[in-house]
Amino acid sequence: MKKEKSSALILNEDNKLLVVKKRENQTHFILPGGKREKNETLEEALKREIREEIGVELLDFIFIEKFIVQAQFDDYQIENYMYLCKVNGTPQAKSEISEIKWIDINDVNKQELASGIVLHAIPYLKEYFLQGRKTLSRIKNFIFDWDNTLFDYKGYWEKAHRQKYNDFRKINEITSYENFMRIYKENDEKLWIKVSNGEMTLDELRLRRMLMTMAKLKISMTEEEAVLFFDDVFKRLLNSIQPQKDLLKRLQTMKDKKIFILTNGTIEEQNEKLSRTGFLNQFPTYISEDIGFEKPNLTAFEYVIKKNNLSPLESVMIGDSLTNDILPAKKLGMRTVLVGGQSNKEADFSFESVTSFLDYIEVES
């Protein structure tokens, strides 16, 4: 005779595993979870047991492994279904639970743990989760940032500004391109903070950035001239965009992977760039102006996840910004890839470019 049970692998920020001890069994710690009731699925049982035993809500889970153990106090076997889980709330001992404990899986007292933890949970975590953050073999969903990730916005931006500078005597007769861009970028960085905090729109940034730069250079410029300056720069940028056939083909041929694009920006501008590169309508694409949320707002990521019924634990976010892409995705339990030549311990992976990242994926596959 066998009975079915759901068990939860829950880890904290330090990658320690939660184990519990029941009042009826003071000898061994076990995984949170329990047997399913009549007409209840294993997943429903898992959610109910987690809520009853440790007082938290189950947000996300992935089935990991099924194993069979002998019931400790009864003459039957237990068919245990183990799930890697993400929960909302702080676990506390409830109901029949007398004690909870966070254990370091690399330094455990096996004598106090049930056999299922020793023989199945800990080996899995060592092989596939803690070390597995250095592999993407289990990842099914790839969410890409657009500007400066899939699309070289910085390169086109620099090229368009240099062209405009060369043709704009009002500036090039007064100062060098390098000095102009140094001041321009300093103002850009200052104003982006306000945009990120919702204190300024993108159009306002483009206007103020140019006016502040010209004021620093002691060159007179009207607001109308400042608007026309950026409009011409952006027109030059768009006209220089080339199709990205090779990159598009590589993404389209990623076997058993779902590809998504999540980007900040306006619908008109982003769709124009997507169209000119050949990416328009090739993958589900979510633009901040359209969905109503900008990265790094967690809601932007959650929108993509919920809209497509994705599991964060089976998803990876690839982007060039630690603040906008990596940190919020990490909070949701996603794997993270930082591209652009940067390296940061917050990201699971760092690559020089999206091309080198795809090279890695092809080798790993």
Residue 274 predicted with pLDDT over 70: yes
Instruction: Decide if 135 is inside a domain.
Output: no
Run of H or E residues at 216: helix 202-216
Q: Give the pLDDT confidence of 329-362 residue by residue, as tens digits.
A: 988 878 999 999 877 888 989 999 999 999 998 8
Cβ atoms of 18 and 54 closer than 8 Å? yes
* Tokens of residue 216, six digits: 């620093």
- 111 and 122, same domain (yes or no): yes
pLDDT attached to residue 197? 81
Instruction: Decide if 318 is inside a domain.
Output: yes
Instruction: Decide if 176 is inside a domain.
Output: yes
Q: Which residue has the tokens 């965009």?
A: 241
- 146 and 157, same domain (yes or no): no
Residue 177 predicted with pLDDT over 90: yes
- By C-alpha distance, which of 361, 362, 309 is closest to 136? 361
- Residue 7: which domain range? 2-130
Cβ atoms of 28 and 99 closer than 8 Å? no
* Tokens of residue 289, six digits: 């102006």
- 10 and 30, same domain (yes or no): yes
In the three-class reduction of DSSP (H, G, I as helix; E, B as strand; rest coil), residue 109 is classed as: coil
Cα–chain center distance at 225: 40
Task: Examine the fold and report which residue of 223, 240, 257 is the final residue of a domain before the chain moves on.
Answer: 240
Alpha carbons 305 and 284: distance in angstroms, whole number: 12
- 266 and 352, same domain (yes or no): yes
Instruction: Decide if 227 is inside a domain.
Output: yes
Using CA atoms, how far residue 85 sits from 12, 33, 140, 151, 323, in Å, is 11, 11, 17, 34, 25
Residue 185 predicted with pLDDT over 60: yes
pLDDT-derived band at 195, boundaries 50, 70, 90: confident
Instruction: Decide if 136 is inside a domain.
Output: no
Q: Give me the CATH number covering residue 157.
A: 1.10.150.240
- 342 and 279, same domain (yes or no): yes
Q: Give me the CATH number covering residue 9.
A: 3.90.79.10
* Tokens of residue 54, six digits: 């440790």
Cβ atoms of 19 and 31 closer than 8 Å? yes
> Residue 340, by phi and psi: left (phi above 0), alpha (psi -120 to 50) or beta?
left
Q: How many CB atoms lie within 10 A of CB 77?
A: 13
- 147 and 77, same domain (yes or no): no
- 29 and 160, same domain (yes or no): no
- 65 and 190, same domain (yes or no): no
Using CA atoms, how far residue 62 sits from 57, 69, 196, 241, 333, in Å, is 15, 21, 34, 41, 12
Task: Examine the fold and report which residue of 130, 162, 186 is the final residue of a domain before the chain moves on.
Answer: 130
Instruction: Decide if 78 is inside a domain.
Output: yes
Contacts of 32 (CB under 8 A, 6+ apart): 7, 8, 10, 18, 19, 20, 49, 50, 53, 54, 91
- 225 and 249, same domain (yes or no): no
- 27 and 41, same domain (yes or no): yes
Alpha carbons 57 and 85: distance in angstroms, whole number: 10
In the three-class reduction of DSSP (H, G, I as helix; E, B as strand; rest coil), residue 317 is classed as: strand
Half-sphere exposure of residue 133, counting CA atoms within 13 Å on the CB side?
Answer: 16
Mean pLDDT of the region 84-93: 92
DSSP string, 26-78: EEEEE-SEEEPPTT--HHHHHHHHHHHHH--EEEEEEEEEEEEEE-SSSSSEE
129 versus 199: the higher-pLDDT residue is: 199
Q: Give the pLDDT confidence of 15-65 residue by residue, as tens digits.
A: 899 999 998 777 889 999 999 888 899 999 999 999 999 999 998 887 877
Half-sphere exposure of residue 62, counting CA atoms within 13 Å on the CB side?
Answer: 16
pLDDT attached to residue 72? 64
Walk across the sheet containing 33-35 and list its strands.
33-35, 2-10, 77-88, 57-70
* Tokens of residue 283, six digits: 């993958």
Least confident of 57-71, 118-132, 241-255, 292-306: 118-132
Beta-ladder partners of 142: 259, 316
Residue 235 predicted with pLDDT over 60: yes
- 145 and 278, same domain (yes or no): yes
How many domains does the chain contain in total? Answer: 3
N residues, the chain: 365
- 171 and 71, same domain (yes or no): no
Alpha carbons 69 and 52: distance in angstroms, whole number: 23
Q: Give me the CATH number covering residue 283.
A: 3.40.50.1000
Contacts of 187 (CB under 8 A, 6+ apart): 208, 209, 212, 213, 216
* Tokens of residue 206, six digits: 């483009």
Task: Examine the fold and report which residue of 191, 208, 240 is the final residue of a domain before the chain moves on.
Answer: 240
Instruction: Decide if 290 is inside a domain.
Output: yes
Residue 175 predicted with pLDDT over 70: yes
